[in-house]
Amino acid sequence: MGSAKAGRVITHQTKMDSLTQTPSSPVFAQNFPNLYKFLEIRERGDNMFTSASMSIFVEDGLVKVCLNDRVRERYVFTTSRELAEALRFADRGLGNGNLNWRSKAWSAAKQNTAVLA
């Protein structure tokens, strides 16, 4: 299915409890302190815990890091040719507050639909 150089083959995914997904690596926390703090966010609302999340995509030769701020219903992408650089951009942006966040317009539409129904 692939060579040893290609890396580990994932045969199945395991669902993890959202309260245990914060990276526990001290190296990650040291290299990306603002990302680490962002991913530790835990707030309670509407009978469930909401938190921040991070997704990583590769598209058209670029690495894209998506930060999802569920509490404020917004998201942002940082993009680079290197994963470490995309993570650094996100970390610095969180630290100095200059990320270009986008709101989740679908959330408001979803809430309005629920009210009208």
**Cα 25 to Cα 108: distance, rounded to the nearest angstrom:** 36
Beta bridge partners of 45: 48
23-97: CATH number: 3.30.160
pLDDT tens figures, 35-88: 999 988 777 666 566 688 899 999 999 999 999 998 888 999 999 999 999 999
Domain regions of the chain by residue span = 23-97
Alpha helices (H) along the chain = 26-31, 33-39, 83-96, 105-116
Per mean pLDDT, which range of 12-21, 56-65, 90-99 is the poorest?
12-21
φ/ψ (deg, to 5) at 38: -60, -45
